[in-house]
A and B are shown apart, each in its own frame.
Chain A
Amino acid sequence: MRRSLVSTYLILVVTWATGCNQDTDSATRRGGSGDDVEAESNAVEPPVPDPQPFVIKVVPNDENPRHVVVTVIATEGFGRSKEKLKAAGSTLLSMHLIFEGDPSPFGTEISDLTPLLGRYTVEAESLSFWPTFRLSRGARYAIRFNARKLSSDPLARVMWKEYQTQLVIDAPAPKIETITPTAEVLPANHLKFYLRFTEPMQTGDIWQYFHLQNVTKKEPVPRPFRHTELWSEDRRTLTLWFHPGRQKIGVNLNVEVGPILLEGNEYQLVISGDWKSARSVSLSRDVTKTFRAGPPDHEQLFVAKWRITAPKPATRHALTIDLGESLDAALLQTEIVIENPTGQPVSGTISLEKQESVWTFRPDEPWQPGRYQLAVGSVLEDLSGNSIERPFEVDLQGEPLKPVGSTVRRTFPIGVESK
């Protein structure tokens, strides 16, 4: 009678509070192995006392079900002060990851188990364990409560309960929105890719998810990437670098291991579908970018060579600059500024066209007649790292570099005659 009443209250409370969480929550393992030799060697199951003096409950957080609290409720009281109960918390109640490949923790001596980190709280008739970290998705946990520590009753046992978190979450898989450069032919001394994701990805051990295949030779390219994770501020764009030491002529890695790309060969950059987002949802399918290696590019950039098509005044038509070659997509977003005839920056929208070889700018306000200027950061570079400031590879024996300053300016007229 009393037992059924208690159960009813518990089910009501848990269901109401968690919004019917869907995690698998198996029943208490009654008669699970005890933690003393006598109990384990006794083949006869001791009778389960009625009512059960202790009940173990796992309550997931409403907003994040992987944060849980494990509570033991003593239906007849613990018979200990709150302070004593809290101090003994870890010897009474613990939670353990059921690790793949390990023997089952159920019935294992506590000294052989690694407990989850967490803290303990004590309320009137309950002892709670709060794991510090959220649980893993789709993982199984063993919860152990040693009632024997509280009672000299020979029927007091070590109680075990299994808890499993939900594997699938109701969310779309992450995607790679763009891979730049978008060109299908890249210089043989190409340096970097930008991968834009729909959401932040798991970090820390990402290189296993990248692969470069030489399609022409039907073989993988060994160790092509620089193992340095470079993420944007919003954690959604990764800069993926080919190893610069292998892309420079005469550098030891280039000489000893060889260059990454061979002119004329076709390659496939593969990003594994196993890579998971920060929310632990995988890309689900491999993403590839196929390209051919063209001639290497060692030329410094010159703004004077760009072809500017100026719009008419009093319109908001786009200004177009033909850059003559594909340049670094990220730097093109920040390193070219249009200044109005009074030298103030013009606000507007940048777009990149024709495989990042054309830069267009649509102003927020109509163009005024006058002499505008391009102000270009000299760090702007092409796909091979040649910038306005310097070519990627500087020959110390050659002509000294001409200093260009941090910004290069070029005037262009709108609605007035050029000088």
Chain B
Amino acid sequence: MSTKQRVMAFSMVATLLGGLFLLTGDAPTQAAPKAAGAAKYLKNVQTGNPKFKTIGRLSFGPSGLLLVADPGTASVVAIDTGDTGPVNKLKKRIDNVEQLLAKSIGATSVKITDLAVNQLSGKIYLAVNRNDAILTIDGDGKVGTLDMAKLRFVRVTLPADGNARVSNITDVSFADDRILAAGQSGKQFSSKIYSLPLPLEHGASANIFSAETYHVAHRRWETRAPIQSFIPFTEDGKDYVVGSFACTPIAKFPIGNLKSGAKVKGTSIVELGSGNRPLDMFTYEKDGKRWIVTNTMRFHKNLFGPSKYWGVRIESSYLTAKKVNEEAARRDIKTKSGPEGIEIVEALSGAVQVDKLSNTEMVVLRDDNGKLNLEIAPLP
């Protein structure tokens, strides 16, 4: 063996050894996002891996601020993604997107558990049924992943209600002066609203309110029905949570100056019809009107299409309606629209997940005979 041959063999061994020592299994794939505008919403920012126990609901705030519910640790994590644009929205529908994700992460199957769109970039963020990944899809349909090892984040724990720890965080959302979350405990199923002041400080705690709602459909006050999805809402300078419930009353809860631990009574403002489970909620504006959009899953046969998933838009004037609770507006379940300002949205037929992209478009994860397609759809 020549000297050259010996050197070559040695170098190969060294290379392999080097590789083996580096083999950690946490190999990141994307450069770390740099500090961006979202920094002003965060305090005591951590850099590194948030070590999610579970990745639940996702939601975007301004400046690329990604909110992630981690029900496994009863906490909310806010990530400064640095993803601040420009907009490059999905150009082409992706059929069977779960298969694409599975192939990208090398898994035989993947289920999408939530979706959020960064309106600044159009990039779609996806929670899937594994706890170490938030996947992304860019305008070209290319799959990526958040580099968990190098995130800038803060984590805030949601307090227990007595002995009842939060087991499920049903939604999380950015309001102007705070972050809001809704949840429930595994033991009692009681409905809670959490308020996290901004700037969000790592290690801080949240205020907790017990939510009680009048359910129009069965004329009862409920403490157990959890808020499935909600939006923050301000009226005359007062802050509210507008939440949707199973069996779909939409109710608003005043949360302005409440002390932690207080009980808050919701006012039912619209009843969308029984036997539905609301999924997502957002608002948009068009021609001077503000609309609330929600998609739901119906237990029985849908009267207006083959899919059990359907959606509706409600004019925001209902949020300030005088007729509430027993007198609250009820959607005419036999027609596609009515009363005025409550309409079924055709583009939400089959929508399993939905999020707002702009005032004219939304991202829809649509059921197609059991397979899910990801696409951009127009808002009415």
| Interface residues of A, Cβ cutoff 8 Å to B | 2, 5-6, 9-10, 13-14, 17, 57, 59, 61-64, 67, 69, 71, 73, 75, 95-97, 99-100, 114-119, 121, 123-126, 128, 130-136, 139, 141, 192, 202-205, 223, 227-233, 235, 237, 239, 241, 244-245, 248, 250-253, 256-257, 328, 330-331, 334-335, 377, 379, 381, 385, 393-394, 396, 406
Q: Does B217 contact A (CB under 8 A)?
A: yes
B71 within 8 A of A: yes
Contact between A334 and B163, CB atoms less than 8 A apart: yes
B167 cross-chain contacts in A, Cβ below 8 A: 230-232, 239
CB proximity of A117 to chain B, nearest CB, Å: 5
The answer to whether B168 touches A118, judged by C-beta atoms less than 8 angstroms apart, is no
Contact assessment for B8 and A133 in the assembled complex, using a CB-CB cutoff below 8 Å = no
CB B295 to nearest CB in A, in angstroms, measures 15
Which residue of chain A has its CB nearest to the CB of B147?
Answer: A132
Contact B72 A235 (CB under 8 A): yes
Instruction: Tell whether, in the assembled complex, residue B299 and residue A132 are in contact, meaning their CB atoms are under 8 Å apart.
Output: no
Which B residues touch A237, using CB under 8 A?
186
B16 close to A252 (CB less than 8 A): no
Distance of A192 Cα from B188 Cα, bound (Å): 10
Contact B19 A141 (CB under 8 A): no
Chain B nearest Cβ from A157, distance in angstroms: 21
Separation in Å of the B222 CB from the closest CB of chain A?
A: 9
Contact A377 B163 (CB under 8 A): yes
Given the known interface contacts A17-B20, A231-B186, A256-B300, the answer about A126 and B12 at a Cβ–Cβ threshold of 8 Å is yes
Q: How far is the CA of A135 from the CA of B74 in the complex (A)?
A: 29
| Contact indicator B29/A126 (Cβ below 8 Å) | no
For the complex formed, measure the closest distance between the CB of A352 and the CB atoms of chain B, giving whole angstroms: 15
User: Separation in Å of the A268 CB from the closest CB of chain B?
Assistant: 23
Distance of A123 from chain B, by nearest CB (Å): 4
Known: A117-B29, A130-B27. Is A330-B107 also a contact (CB below 8 A)?
Answer: no
Q: Which one of B22, B107, B219, B226 contacts A133 once the chains associate, using CB atoms below 8 Å?
A: B107
Contact of B100 with A by CB under 8 A: yes
* A-binding segment of B77-85, B125-133, B347-355, B361-369: B125-133
With A59-B16, A100-B108, A245-B247 already in contact, 20 other A-B pairs whose C-beta atoms are closer than 8 Å: A2-B5, A57-B16, A62-B23, A67-B23, A71-B15, A73-B12, A118-B29, A123-B19, A125-B15, A227-B277, A235-B53, A244-B189, A244-B225, A251-B217, A251-B218, A252-B275, A334-B163, A379-B162, A385-B224, A393-B220
Establish whether residues A117 and B105, one from each chain, have CB atoms under 8 Å apart when the complex forms.
Answer: yes
CB-based contact A257/B299 at 8 Å: yes
**8 Å CB contact of B106 from A124, A136, A381:** A136
Residues in A neighbouring B18, C-beta threshold 8 A: 123
Closest to B9 in A: A9
Q: How far is the CA of A304 from the CA of B360 in the complex (A)?
A: 61
Q: Which residues of B contact A96 (CB under 8 A)?
A: 103
B143 located at the interface, meaning its Cβ lies under 8 Å from any Cβ of chain A in the complex: yes
Give me 30 A-to-B residue pairs in the complex whose CB atoms sit less than 8 angstroms apart, sorted by A's number. A2-B1, A6-B9, A13-B13, A59-B16, A67-B24, A71-B19, A73-B16, A75-B12, A100-B108, A114-B143, A118-B29, A125-B11, A126-B16, A130-B23, A133-B132, A203-B129, A230-B185, A230-B189, A231-B167, A239-B187, A241-B189, A244-B225, A245-B247, A251-B217, A252-B247, A253-B247, A253-B299, A385-B224, A393-B220, A394-B220
Residue of B14, B170, B187 with highest tally of chain A CB at under 10 A: B187
Residues of chain B contacted by A379 (CB below 8 angstroms): 162, 164, 188, 190
Docked pose: A229 CA to B102 CA in angstroms:
22
Residue contact B274 to A116, C-beta cutoff 8 Å: no
A133 to B23, CA, bound (A): 12
Assuming the contacts A59-B19, A377-B163, asked whether A253 and B275 have C-beta atoms less than 8 A apart, the reply is yes
Residues of B within 8 A of A124 (CB): 11-12, 14-15
Chain A positions within 8 Å of B111 at CB level: 204-205
Contact of A125 among B12, B22, B25 (CB under 8 A): B12
- The residue from B8, B27, B105, B300 contacting A75, defined by CB atoms under 8 A apart: B8
B103: contacting residue among A9, A64, A114, A394, CB under 8 A = A114
Q: What's the nearest-Cβ distance from chain B to residue A128, in Å?
A: 6
Q: Tell me which of B74, B100, B144, B189 has the highest count of chain A C-beta atoms within 10 A of its own C-beta.
A: B189
A228 pairs with B103, CB closer than 8 A: no
Within 8 A of A (CB), among B117-135: 128-130, 132-133
The answer, among A71, A130, A251, for a CB contact under 8 Å with B16, is A71
Give B1-48 interface residues, CB cut-off 8 Å to A.
1, 5, 8-9, 11-20, 22-25, 27-29
Within 8 Å CB of A61, what residues of B?
23-25
| A205→B129 contact, CB < 8 A | yes
Q: Does B316 contact A (CB under 8 A)?
A: no
Does B207 reach chain A (CB closer than 8 Å)?
no
Chain A, Cβ-Cβ closest to B189: A241
Q: Which residues of B contact A203 (CB under 8 A)?
A: 54, 129
Decide if B105 touches A14 in the complex (CB within 8 Å): no
B186 and A114 contact, CB distance less than 8 A: no
Complex CA–CA separation, A248 to B225 (angstroms)? 12
A250 adjacent to B218 (CB under 8 Å): yes
Q: Decide yes or no whether B337 CB sits under 8 A from chain A.
A: no
| A253: nearest chain-B partner, CB-CB | B275
In the complex, which residues of chain B have a beta carbon less than 8 angstroms from the beta carbon of A10? 12, 16
Whole-angstrom distance from the CB of B365 to the nearest CB of chain A?
15
Name the B residues within 8 Å of A250 (CB-CB). 218
CB distance from B270 to the nearest CB of A (A): 16
Once A131-B106, A244-B224 are accepted as A-B contacts, the answer to whether A69 and B23 lie under 8 Å apart by CB is yes
Tell me the complex Cα distance, A10–B221, Å: 71
List of B residues within 8 angstroms of A114 by Cβ: 100, 103-104, 143
Which one of B53, B73, B106 contacts A97 once the chains associate, using CB atoms below 8 Å? B106
Partner pick for B274 among A71, A130, A253, CB 8 A cutoff? A253
Tell whether B358 is near chain A: CB-to-CB under 8 Å. Answer: no
Set of chain A residues within 8 Å of B59, measured between Cβ atoms: none
Q: Hey, which chain A residues are within 8 Å of B277, CB to CB? A: 227
User: Quick check: A69 and B29 within 8 Å, CB to CB?
Assistant: no
C-alpha gap A227/B187 in the complex (Å): 15
Q: Which 3 A-B pairs have the closest CB atoms?
A: A204-B129, A67-B25, A252-B274
Chain A nearest Cβ from B1, distance in angstroms: 6
Q: Does B328 contact A (CB under 8 A)?
A: no
B195 / chain A contacts, CB cutoff of 8 Å: none
Report the separation of the CA atoms of residues A227 and B297 in the bound assembly, to the nearest whole angstrom.
11
A139 to B99, CA, bound (A): 15
Question: Which chain A residues border B170 with CB–CB below 8 Å?
Answer: 228
Q: Assuming the A-B contacts A230-B167, A250-B218, A377-B163, are A116 and B13 also in contact, with contact meaning beta carbons closer than 8 angstroms in the complex?
A: no
B15 partner residues in chain A, CB cutoff 8 A: 71, 73, 123-126
In the complex, A205→B247 CA distance in Å? 22
B165 at the interface (CB under 8 A from A): yes
Report Cα–Cα, A10/B165, bound state, in Å. Answer: 53
Contacts of A64 in B (CB 8 A): 25
